[in-house]
Structure 1
């Protein structure tokens, strides 16, 4: 029995128009009626997830939000923290200096706002899309003991591509690296992933791993798809992600989330009869 459903956002729950389809909304409602709890699980900040949980009619404290690729887990409505694994302000400053050295801009994400040394197209886009305050300031002013959710390098693809082979071993040893878009390179605390946060949440709720269903499409979904009880890859996922999954569903523009929920939880949706 599926008791907890983790849903990635971009390329999974959201279609290519960044909308939640009617079929996906219906399937999620039916899954809840059948005893499942929903957790939106994204690289986005928590504030960037709230409008979607509201749209699903699940803005309550029975459902949860996992933001920053697993760095923070909160109850959907109260925002009470269930799990947190950030990096220190000291480590974030090292990354900010590194970004400056390679000529890339960066955003330092805190739980409720972000800081960037230079406002540019990508930093403004990141803040606007997620509805977070963006402070323009010197990262060296960050307290060494502050908790930072993640550091994001944002710049032209060729700048980030040129940097990847030159990442110092000291940084690789202290951080997880996630590439979610050509112009994004994310740095997380070592050992952190969506799956580590999802596992912590499941333990908190007394839910076994075999009762967890995870649906996603990207590199940052790999662990939760591979290791959750029911790991589902979207039809638009890369082959590596599909190979890690127990089930491959339809694409984000073909109601892939609804199709998977209906198939695994036997929801009886007419839309997928015979499909």
Structure 2
């Protein structure tokens, strides 16, 4: 069966960059005032951060249904019999539902895996799924492996404040009502346990303590000095702090693979300037 592996710009990549990896993608949307822009097509992450620094009130939304329909129709015309999608998680976006609806309209078989997050994990999973299929794994077998990866995955976020997250509705109701968190440093998490929604894991008084606390959390989950793990530190206009955080992690998890990136636009818009994040998973 000819299967197309599909994701979205939550990977941090453009449509062309994803296609270079043998997969397909649709762009999510960034909007402000009466302007709507396609992520990583009309505007890149630096452009988004610049708008944030200018004080623009940005919003995000799923890919235009027309873009999804255009892609799915093209894939069907190219002889693909099934689409397997690993997009941004359902806890953050309605992308999965939209893809299901469009696939039914277009008349192409559709399956998906909800990775309960986005960014580097989303990118890794869609490419891994494609490679596993080419190695002869069935889609059901692939979903089992992706689920095992998901079990090792966590994303911790340390925003400067919760104003952006509260405004965007990306916090769980409990977290959104804890107004006192605006005066301290919250540690947020998004993972399988939170069903892909951003929730409060802990709260401390200083940024230094918050960063130390992430190490304590990770030590309970990452064993063998990080062997087999990928650890990504992401930032929103806080590169030097991100570099320092990687150095801190390298002392504890010397065997892990590390990346320093700018936090993907569709997350950074909601976490705000100065946010630091760490995302980790075991490569299976």
Do they superpose with TM above 0.5?
A: no
TM-score computed with the length of structure 1 as normaliser? 0.39
TM-score computed with the length of structure 2 as normaliser? 0.38
